[in-house]
Amino acid sequence: MGWIAFVLAVALVVYGSWRVWREWILPARHLDRLVRAINARETPATFLIGERGRMRQIGLGFEEVFLRDRELQTQAQKREFGVQAITGAMADGLVVSDGERRIRLANRAFREMFEVDGLTNESSLLEIIRDAGVERLLSESLTRGETQRGAMTLPGAENRQLEVLVEPIKNDHAQVNGAVVLFRDVTGVRQTETMRRDFVANVSHELRTPLSILRGYLETLLENPKQPPAELLRIFEVMERHSNRLTLLVDDVLSLARLEDSGASLDLTTVRPANFLRGMMRDWEKKFASKRLAVELDAADDLPLLQADEGRLQEVIYNLLDNAVKYSEPGGRIIVGATPHDEQLCFSVSDSGSGIPARDLPRIFERFYRADKSRQSERGGTGLGLSIVKHIAQLHGGRVEAESETGRGTTVRVFLPRHETAVR
């Protein structure tokens, strides 16, 4: 009987150990692997732990939690992708700041604009942009719960102008808990506005002088129409000269407006550079002779053919020759040339005139800009010629450049593509 009791006891111990192993120890190991896999964001091989019992319920509970977490992750990724897609596609810099002025979100444009390498959870807007004005706008928006607008200049050589908009973020209870700050680069807009104002001011100035002269002489004739014949002739000659100046100004303004129009186009034809320049020089023979100018053509007959708008090209050479004659002293020299340059053809007009000071050279292609302001009325012209030259070159897909030395003359070069012409 003793042996039987011993065997039964051993059997009970073995059975109990087996039950503990099966229902607790082995499931616990499975549960441990399950938790590790979930923590590592991996999908477990199975959520089943044993066939029944408490551990199985825990495993099924983990499965439900895992699937719910996976669903939340998917939704969060979709929302994050949407936010990144929207903010990443924005050309404006965007920052989301919390109520403590810490940056919580910054798009790519903002990082590039302010050259931001990395952001931490403690990075503040003032720390990144270092502009007290923007910090004040943010503070007022967070305090008052109102939209704030301002401006700042981006540090650096480009002197970029930024428009700043701060929009408060409010919760369901109308409490401000953050703000969206938008940085918009308005440098181009400001430059365009400045150019427009300068253009209007310059046109008004150019019109005022001849109109005042015409009006003055008309009043003289109305008050005393019985002028001596010689005086009448002088008055009419002056009026004709200034009326011609008005006509030239209007023509140049209209020509420049057509060139700057987004719908501007070219009437392309085949141009033989040497023959084209010879024809232009024949048209200018009388003007060359009037100032006893020696003129030289530097263009080989075997230059590549050029696809260009011949009428526009004539306008280019006309303006360059007009400047060369105007600023050359009597007995001077002018060289008209055409040479191949890489995949382009370079037209150039050089004179031996007074030249352009180095400080003025970068601006000579601006509208109405004149380097020789002291002799403006004597030289005549509208101040639009070189601007027209630049726009025609750009319309062909080319560019312009100028080289000058005071007292030794000026060379203006126009580079046009020889093959595929880039037309807007």
**pLDDT tens digits, one per residue of 311-334:** 889 989 998 998 889 888 899 999
Q: Is there a single domain that holds both residue 59 and residue 119? A: no
Assess whether pLDDT exceeds 80 at residue 117: no
Mean of the pLDDT values across residues 353-364?
Answer: 84
Assess whether pLDDT exceeds 50 at residue 173: yes
Q: Is the pTM of this model over 0.75?
A: no
96 touches 103 (CB < 8 A): yes
Q: Is there a single domain that holds both residue 116 and residue 207? A: no
User: What whole-number percentage of the chain has pLDDT above 90?
Assistant: 10
Q: What is residue 50's predicted lDDT score, i.e. its pLDDT?
A: 52
pLDDT band at 424 (very low <50, low <70, confident <90, very high): very low
Domain assignment of residue 325, given as a range? 265-424
Domain boundary among 55, 84, 113: 84
Q: Is there a single domain that holds both residue 12 and residue 73? A: yes
Mean of the pLDDT values across residues 164-172?
Answer: 86
Q: Is there a single domain that holds both residue 332 and residue 317? A: yes
Q: What is residue 275's predicted lDDT score, i.e. its pLDDT?
A: 92
Domain boundary among 49, 84, 119: 84
* Strand ranges of the sheet holding 93-98, from the earlier edge strand across to the other edge: 103-106, 93-98, 176-185, 160-170, 148-154
Cα→Cα distances 17→3, 4, 62, Å: 21, 20, 27
Q: Is there a single domain that holds both residue 349 and residue 402? A: yes
Number of domains composing the chain? 4
Q: Is there a single domain that holds both residue 306 and residue 402? A: yes
- The enclosing domain of 195 has a CATH number of 1.10.287.130
Cα→Cα distances 72→58, 60, 63, 81, 224, Å: 21, 18, 14, 14, 95
Q: Is there a single domain that holds both residue 269 and residue 355? A: yes
What is the Cα–Cα distance from 108 to 95, expressed in whole angstroms? 10
Lowest mean pLDDT among 27-41, 260-274, 400-414: 27-41
Q: What does pLDDT average to over the chain?
A: 77
Assess whether pLDDT exceeds 80 at residue 297: yes
Residue type, 312: R
Q: Is there a single domain that holds both residue 71 and residue 109? A: no
Assess whether pLDDT exceeds 80 at residue 229: yes
